Amino acid sequence: MSSHCGEECPPPREAVLLFGSNQGRRVRRIRDAVDRLSRETKLLAVSRMYASEPFGRSHQPWFLNLAVRAATGHSPWGLLALAKRLEREAGRRGGARWGPRTLDVDILLLGDAVIDLPGLVIPHASMAQRRFCLLPAAEVAPGAVVPTYGRTVTQLLDACEDPLEVIVL
């Protein structure tokens, strides 16, 4: 993790990001994006890969997902810019809501930050209702408290009623 701002840099915070893909060479695309992320953050944990039934639009290929816990000095907006850059580098070009995608990078958590602004919501607004988010996140940050719920990732997973299938690979 490189530092460009000397003593003015905020201390690193732990972020949990979720990577997903359901187009093309999914495993390679996700692994390449995690590798690129590791050049700008300090990876602390990487989950196993999960296959998940698509949410929102059922007539599309299943997604592969994994979660990463990383220490980052990026601001919330800087981390969002990094996530969007990783998506673009993987060939993502817009698309329908909940539709197929080459790569999706979501910020699930950033320390204890609570941000609700147009274009940036942290913690991820619907992570508590989505098993495909919670299973890999619980693997890398089981005790992380999701501040908008006051519960840990594991507690949210235990309470999750999402009926969609998620399988560890």
Could you give the residue numbers annotated as active site? Answer: 92, 101, 104, 106
Rounded (to 5) percent helix, strand, coil in the chain: 30, 30, 45
Pick from 53, 35, 27, 37: which is nearest to 131 by CA? 53
Q: Are 14 and 44 in contact (CB under 8 A)?
A: yes
Q: Are 10 and 73 in contact (CB under 8 A)?
A: yes
